[in-house]
């Protein structure tokens, strides 16, 4: 019965507008400023006025929904919520936003996200809010009491435990991870706003790059940038009358690994949030993975993309090394991934840039990197110790 | 692998609040103990208020054999907290104990590039300060 109720969300809500700040290293702005700039562009994109917004799913950090309301002049904020799932937060925010507009709780919901991930909260060097200080939420207790004394404090280390085991059990080679990195970079060369445009990457470069935390090298890791994005969700009825072609939220779901607050304790370490979420979203959208024209995969680290692909059911466990080929996941292939360059080569915007890119692909606005005749696309999110979310979008 | 003598231990100490204080108190006595449900006998780590298997609030601290195997690992090539810089490369590992629970630790007598899945290990306590003892592991022979 629960599934039947969920199915009623199918195509009830649309993405009506998307926007971003500039992607830089050294924004000189607050996170709120960056997110407001992205929000203003999303409003312009949708052809909406700031006071049309009456719901906000706020970012996991940097500002509150009330800060946005105060700046945008929203006198009657009818719906506010937060998703605390790290990098999965923006995709999962679409679920709450879709529910809010489908049931008339709000009419237009703003989903902003962004950070100064280079100039302020630089995770790789333990910057403020980075690995040097415990992250907020349920992870802090686990890390502080049981990981910190052994120096296991950074996401690249926690996910490396999963990657090491996968490589040893299934013979997954470094080249599979390298193919993810090289493909993202290749796609970024076709994206004018990608931070890594103009800096191509070869497999040889990848294999020669320095270790960060075995089995992850430098180019297994996403960028650190200052960047923000914003998405506006409204009802399908309203979206049809707005400036841009509506992009329908056909399926959306969240999932959490068990237990979510400790990686070592999991009975099966490769069962992640997306393992639970994916079947629900595909069922809601009434599509299968083979129907997808592209997939914007949360790519904090290369192996995390591979882990998610197995969890989505794109291939069987342990077979990702055969599934991931440059031909299949590159533009023009069977399932192009991260057509914008992703967190690896466009910018690290907590994956809200993946939603923005999917929306533009489905509107056929992507120029050189456009997936021909794209009709249905997937966006995934990954955060904290493996929380997951996904949205299946269609034009 | 203690990074210095007791008085000059420079690495971050565990934040010992609530049940973590109890866990480390046993370590100080050189006992590796985990919570075990007093009703259904399920072992668990990290500590919890309830048994996720049967819902019981009753538990006891039960002593582990201290024997386990290497479940996974990573090798840090840079310090993610500045204090660890002198130890690079170091290898935070996941150890699976015989009782089924897993924990993060170090294997002190195996070089990072010689680690492998399933290597048998046993607990070896390191009194890093007068107040804090960390459970670490060494190869089991």
DSSP annotation string for A121-181 = --GGGT-TTSTTSPPSSTHHHHIIIIIGGGT--SHHHHHHHHHHHHHHHH---HHHHHHHH
Residue B91, pLDDT score:
98
Residue B7, pLDDT score:
61
Q: Is residue A138 in some structural domain?
A: no
A-interface mutation test, from B11, B27, B76, most A Cβ less than 10 A away: B76
Which whole number is the average pLDDT over B98-122? 98
Q: Is residue B134 predicted with pLDDT exceeding 90? A: yes
Q: Which residues of chain A, if any, have pLDDT below 70?
A: 1-7, 126-137
Q: Is residue B8 predicted with pLDDT exceeding 60? A: yes
Dihedral class, residue B107 (left if φ above 0, else alpha if ψ from -120 to 50, else beta): beta
Domain that holds residue A109: 8-119+222-394
Please judge whether A147 and B106 are an interchain contact, meaning their C-beta atoms are less than 8 angstroms apart: no
Please judge whether A161 and B12 are an interchain contact, meaning their C-beta atoms are less than 8 angstroms apart: no
**Main-chain phi, psi angles of A220, to 5 degrees:** -80, -15
- Contact indicator for A323, A337 with CB cutoff of 8 Å: no
Our count of domains for chain A comes to 1
Q: CA torsion, points A38, A42, A44, A46, in degrees to nearest 10? A: 180
Considering just the CA atoms, what is the radius of gyration of chain A in Å?
19
Q: Count CB pairs under 8 A between chains A and B.
A: 116
Nearest to B117 among A151, A162, A165 (CB): A165
Please judge whether A147 and B92 are an interchain contact, meaning their C-beta atoms are less than 8 angstroms apart: yes
CA geometry: angle A241, A5, A294, nearest 5 deg: 60
Residues of B in Cβ contact (< 8 Å) with A269: 72
Q: Is residue A296 in some structural domain?
A: yes
CA-based nearest distance A385→chain B, Å: 14
Please judge whether B20 and A262 are an interchain contact, meaning their C-beta atoms are less than 8 angstroms apart: no
Residue A34, pLDDT score:
97
CA-based nearest distance B79→chain A, Å: 8
Tokens of A173: 């080679």
CA-based nearest distance A145→chain B, Å: 5
Which residue numbers of A have CB closer than 8 Å to B's CBs? 124, 126, 131-132, 141-142, 144-154, 156-157, 160-162, 164-165, 168-169, 210-216, 259, 261-265, 269
Tokens of A337: 């991934």
**Taking CA atoms, what residue in B is nearest to A140?**
B15
Is the reported ipTM for this assembly greater than 0.85? yes
Residue A123, pLDDT score:
82
**Taking CA atoms, what residue in B is nearest to A122?**
B80
Q: Is residue A136 in some structural domain?
A: no
SS3 label, residue A10? coil
CA-based nearest distance B90→chain A, Å: 8
B-interface mutation test, from A135, A149, A212, A218, most B Cβ less than 10 A away: A149
- Contact indicator for A229, A18 with CB cutoff of 8 Å: yes
CA-based nearest distance A258→chain B, Å: 11
CA distances A25 to A118, A121, A155, B62, B125, Å, are 6, 12, 21, 51, 44
Angstrom distance (rounded) from CA A247 to CA A379: 13
Query: How high is the mean pLDDT of chain B?
Result: 94
Residues of B in Cβ contact (< 8 Å) with A152: 74, 92, 104
A-interface mutation test, from B21, B80, B85, B137, most A Cβ less than 10 A away: B80
Residue A282, pLDDT score:
97
Largest CA-CA distance found in chain A, in angstroms, rounded: 57
Residue A131, pLDDT score:
42
Model pTM above 0.90: yes
Q: Is residue A82 in some structural domain?
A: yes
Q: Is residue A284 in some structural domain?
A: yes
Nearest to B134 among A149, A154, A265 (CB): A149
pLDDT band at B141 (very low <50, low <70, confident <90, very high): confident
Q: Is residue A56 in some structural domain?
A: yes
Residue A129, pLDDT score:
45
Residue A6, pLDDT score:
55
Q: Is residue A227 in some structural domain?
A: yes
Q: Is residue B83 predicted with pLDDT exceeding 60? A: yes
Q: Is residue A168 in some structural domain?
A: no
CATH number at residue A273: 3.40.47.10
Strands (E), chain A: 13-20, 55-58, 79-82, 108-116, 211-214, 216-217, 226-235, 247-255, 294-296, 376-383, 387-394
CA-based nearest distance A172→chain B, Å: 14
- b/e B106-116 (16+ beta carbons within 10 angstroms → b): bbeebebeebe
């Amino acid at each position: 019965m629960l599934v039947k109720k969920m199915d009623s969300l199918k195509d009830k809500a649309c993405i009506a507008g998307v926007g971003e700040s500039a992607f830089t290293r050294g924004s000189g702005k607050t996170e709120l400023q960056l997110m407001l700039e992205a929000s203003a562009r999303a409003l312009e994109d949708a052809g909406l006025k700031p006071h049309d917004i009456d719901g906000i799913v706020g970012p996991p950090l940097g500002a509150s929904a009330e800060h946005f309301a105060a700046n945008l002049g929203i006198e009657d904020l009818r719906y506010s919520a937060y998703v605390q799932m790290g990098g999965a937060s923006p995709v999962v925010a679409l679920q709450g936003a879709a529910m809010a507009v489908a049931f008339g709780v709000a009419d237009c919901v703003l989903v902003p996200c962004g950070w100064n991930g280079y100039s302020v909260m630089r995770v790789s060097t333990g910057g403020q809010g980075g690995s040097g200080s415990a992250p907020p939420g349920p992870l802090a207790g686990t890390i502080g009491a049981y990981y910190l004394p052994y120096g296991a404090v950074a996401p690249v280390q926690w996910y490396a435990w999963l990657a090491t085991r996968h490589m040893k059990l299934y013979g997954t080679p470094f080249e599979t991870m390298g193919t993810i990195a090289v493909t993202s970079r290749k796609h970024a060369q076709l994206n004018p706003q990608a931070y890594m445009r103009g800096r191509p990457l070869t497999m040889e470069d990848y294999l020669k790059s320095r270790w960060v935390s075995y089995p992850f090298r430098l180019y297994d890791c996403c960028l650190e940038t200052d960047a923000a994005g914003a998405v506006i969700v409204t009802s399908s009825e309203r979206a049809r009358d707005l400036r841009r072609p509506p992009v329908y939220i056909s399926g959306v779901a969240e999932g959490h690994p068990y237990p979510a607050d400790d990686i070592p304790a999991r009975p099966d370490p490769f069962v992640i949030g997306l393992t639970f979420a994916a079947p629900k979203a595909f069922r809601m959208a009434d599509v299968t993975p083979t129907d997808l024209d592209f997939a914007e995969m949360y790519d904090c680290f290369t192996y995390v993309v591979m882990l998610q692909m197995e969890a989505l059911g794109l291939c069987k466990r342990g077979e990702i090394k055969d599934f991931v080929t440059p031909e299949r996941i590159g533009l023009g292939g069977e399932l192009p991934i991260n057509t914008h360059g992703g967190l690896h080569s466009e910018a690290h915007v907590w994956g809200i840039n993946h939603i923005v890119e999917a929306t533009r692909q489905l509107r056929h606005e992507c120029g050189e990197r456009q997936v021909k005749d794209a009709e249905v696309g997937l966006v995934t999110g990954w955060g904290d110790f493996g929380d997951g979310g996904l949205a299946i979008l269609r034009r | 692998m203690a990074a210095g003598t007791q008085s000059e231990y420079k690495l971050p100490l565990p934040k010992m609040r609530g049940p973590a204080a109890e866990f480390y108190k046993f370590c100080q006595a050189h006992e590796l103990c985990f919570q075990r449900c007093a009703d259904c006998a399920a072992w668990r780590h990290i500590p919890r208020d309830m048994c996720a298997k049967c819902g019981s609030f009753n538990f006891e601290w039960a002593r582990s054999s201290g024997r386990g195997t290497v479940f996974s690992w990573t090798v840090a090539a840079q310090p993610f907290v500045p204090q660890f810089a002198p130890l690079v490369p170091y290898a935070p590992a996941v150890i699976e104990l015989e009782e089924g629970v897993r924990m993060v630790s170090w294997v002190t007598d195996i070089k990072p590039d010689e680690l492998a899945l399933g290597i048998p290990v046993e607990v070896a306590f390191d009194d890093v300060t007068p107040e804090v003892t960390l459970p670490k592991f060494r190869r089991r022979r």
